[in-house]
Structure 1
Amino acid sequence: MSFELSSERLILRPLRPGDAPALAAYRSDPAVARYQGWVLPYSVQDAGQLIAEMAGRVPGDRVSESGGWVQIGLESRAEGVLLGDVALNTSGRQAEIGVTLTAQAQGRGYAAEALRALISHAFGSLKLEQVRAEIDPRNVAALRLLLTLGFRHTATEYGGYLNRGEWTDNAVYTVTEEEWLT
């Protein structure tokens, strides 16, 4: 099954084998990876393995009873280059989202644009009722992004997330279909 979403400046599409070098490069950038859970450095082989695991998956796929992450590439319409990726993990009537952008693409509105398209797809085509995001509360950019998109803070687990040997807080933000549509 094929999948593609479009926005004004982006194409949200499956990751491709040719994306591996770019994916590895931005995921290996310590500033980009600071609040993410993957191991550094993130090699081209790691990227290739992720891309292979995602082959054929589309948003809404449930790989197991608890759901399954689907990573989606963000391609610039103007330049045709990979700017980052978004992720969706559906479980029941809800989903969790994530986003990662290259350092060069950050601060230009791409994350909001991509997540608007993905969340609209989740509520529209996938008929989900709630979308959530979990972030390290020190990630001010992610916090601003979620608030801009209309998410509300619903919980914080203090010292509940082990990331690179450090126990960090984990803040949960949610938006319901009803909130999204208003």
Structure 2
Amino acid sequence: MQIETDRLRLVAISEHDWPLFYQIHTDPEVIEFCFDAPTLSEIQQKFQARLTPWQPNSTHWLCLVVLNKQNDEPLGITGFRMVNGVAEVGYLFLAQHHGKQYATESLAALLRWASDNTKIVQFNATVTEGNIASERVLVKCGFKLINIMPRAHSIQGEWYSDLIYQFQ
């Protein structure tokens, strides 16, 4: 499986993507509004779960590595998992690539691919309160804020609301 845009190539994650996956999940600037720093064991478990090949009836994550088409440099990851018939999308990018529209471009391409190649008709995303950059990505891709879950989870001892976005 491969999805392409003018600048990007999205490919299924593989064993050789461990350094990227590890770096994304341990960089404080990347995970600041996502989750507490996971242990090595937790990161390894997440990574192994993402390696399972995805099929349209899968309940695990379709995890795609986002590459710069010009030089095959890994930029981040994106994907979705099915939750009660709805695709929950997510993305994490290396800090040095923030602000370059890669998340928006890759998410828009993923949405087009999923709409054209699967029977998925609804996509949701959950963003932690304060993650303004991630909210901008969703809005640019056509998502709308539909719900706010107050004090939904804690990151480093501070409580945050979850902002629920929907695309149809």
Q: State the TM-score, normalizing by the size of structure 2.
A: 0.88
Aligned to 2:111: 119
Match of 1:99 among 88, 91, 100: 91
Aligned to 2:10: 12
- My pick for the range that moved more, 52-61 or 148-157, is 52-61
Q: Does 1:55 align with 2:47?
A: no
Deviation at 1:70, TM superposition (A): 2.4
Aligned to 1:173: 165
Aligned to 2:24: 26
Q: Does 1:158 align with 2:154?
A: no
Contact 1:24–1:46 (8 Å) recurs in 2: no
Deviation at 1:165, TM superposition (A): 3.4
Equivalent positions of 1:78-97 (< 5 A) are 78-97=70-89
Contact 1:72–1:86 (8 Å) recurs in 2: yes
Contact 2:151–2:162 (8 Å) recurs in 1: yes
Aligned to 1:179: none
Aligned to 2:125: 133
Is the partner of 1:159 in helix, strand or coil?
Answer: strand
Contact 1:137–1:143 (8 Å) recurs in 2: no
Post-superposition CA distance 1:92-133 (Å, at most 9, x none): 542110111011111111101100111112222112111111
How many residues get paired?
168
Structure 2 stretches of 5 or more lacking a match?
none
After superposition, the CA RMSD in angstroms is 2.0
Contact 1:61–1:68 (8 Å) recurs in 2: no
Aligned equivalents of 2:157 and 2:118: distance in 1?
A: 36
Q: Percent identity?
A: 23
Structure 1 stretches of 5 or more lacking a match?
177-182
Aligned equivalents of 1:50 and 1:135: distance in 2?
A: 19
Relative to structure 1, the CA distance from residue 70 to residue 30 in structure 2 (aligned partners, 3 Å threshold; closer, same or farther) is same
Q: State the TM-score, normalizing by the size of structure 1.
A: 0.82
Aligned equivalents of 2:43 and 2:149: distance in 1?
A: 30
Aligned equivalents of 2:10 and 2:110: distance in 1?
A: 8
Is the partner of 2:66 in helix, strand or coil?
Answer: strand
